[in-house]
């Protein structure tokens, strides 16, 4: 294991919440899609992911439309009447590309996921679907679900005496 100061260069992870969870899971599933200069051919794959109430899928039935629109500028056809004239019709290729549950493979990083079942911002099915894809490919995954907490509870869920971050820290130390 290489060390730089006290940082292990082989244990660098990514954490993201909500739309940031989509960004983090995109990094963990699309790390071979080089979109920046990489003259030293460094691995861009994170060693682990921590996803809090993440947007995972861009499929119409699961997506958070604001996140999808902000990234790829598309709305489902039945929502176009509400859209500005400069918005593009749905690009199914981009929706598929950014539906990260479809891009999990056996090299996807180990993942810790937390979500609340009563989240009305990002459907909990995003996390469940990603967990299933990880399990299908034999990728280690640990999940922590709250019955309550809604969306955006951060590190402190005021509806619970148990904090996900404690389990997450133990999980990181076990890697």
> Does residue 12 sit within a domain?
no
Query: Would residue 6 count as lying in a domain?
Result: no
Q: What is the pLDDT of residue 73?
A: 79
| pTM, full prediction | 0.86
Q: What is the mean pLDDT of the chain?
A: 88
Give me the domain span that covers residue 129. 17-174
Please tell me the predicted confidence (pLDDT) of residue 90: 66
Please count the helices (runs of H) and the strands (runs of E) in the chain. 5, 6
Angle at which helix 19-29 crosses helix 65-72, to 10 degrees, equals 60
- Asked if residue 7 is part of any domain, the answer here is no
Residue 1 counted as domain residue: no
Q: Within a domain: residue 127?
A: yes
The answer to whether residue 11 sits within a structural domain is no
- Count of domains forming the chain: 1
What's the mean pLDDT in 53-74? 86
Q: Decide if 111 is inside a domain.
A: yes
- The strand pair at 13-17 and 48-52 is best described as parallel
Please provide residue 52's backbone torsions phi and psi, each rounded to the nearest 5 degrees: -105, 120
Q: Where are the alpha helices (DSSP H) in the chain?
A: 19-29, 65-72, 92-97, 125-136, 164-174
Residue 141, both tokens: 């995954």
The model's pLDDT over 101-131, given as tens digits with 9 standing for 90+, comes to 999 999 999 999 999 999 999 999 999 999 9
CA-to-CA separations, 20 to 25, 29, 107, 152, 169, in angstroms, rounded = 9, 14, 21, 11, 19
* Separation CA 57–CA 31 (nearest Å): 17
Q: Compute the distance between CA of residue 114 and CA of residue 142 in angstroms, rounded to an integer.
A: 9
Average pLDDT for 7-30: 93
Residue 142 lies in a domain: yes
- The domain that holds 100 is classified in CATH as 3.40.50.1820
């Amino acid at each position: 294991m290489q060390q730089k100061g006290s940082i292990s260069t082989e244990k660098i992870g990514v954490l993201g919440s909500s739309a940031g969870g989509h960004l983090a899971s995109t990094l963990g599933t699309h790390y071979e899609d080089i979109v920046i200069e990489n003259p030293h051919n460094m691995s861009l794959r994170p060693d682990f992911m921590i996803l809090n109430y993440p947007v995972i899928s861009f499929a119409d039935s699961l997506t958070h439309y604001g996140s999808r629109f902000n990234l790829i500028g598309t709305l489902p056809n039945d929502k176009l009447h509400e859209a500005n004239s400069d918005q593009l019709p749905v690009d199914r290729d981009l929706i598929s590309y950014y539906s990260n549950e479809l891009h999990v493979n056996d090299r996807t990083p180990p993942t810790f996921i937390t979500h609340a079942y009563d989240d009305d911002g990002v459907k909990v099915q995003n996390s469940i679907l990603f967990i299933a894809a990880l399990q299908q490919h034999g990728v280690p995954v640990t999940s922590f679900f709250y019955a309550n907490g809604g969306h955006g509870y951060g590190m402190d869920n005021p509806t619970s005496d148990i904090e996900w971050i404690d389990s997450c820290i133990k999980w990181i130390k076990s890697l």
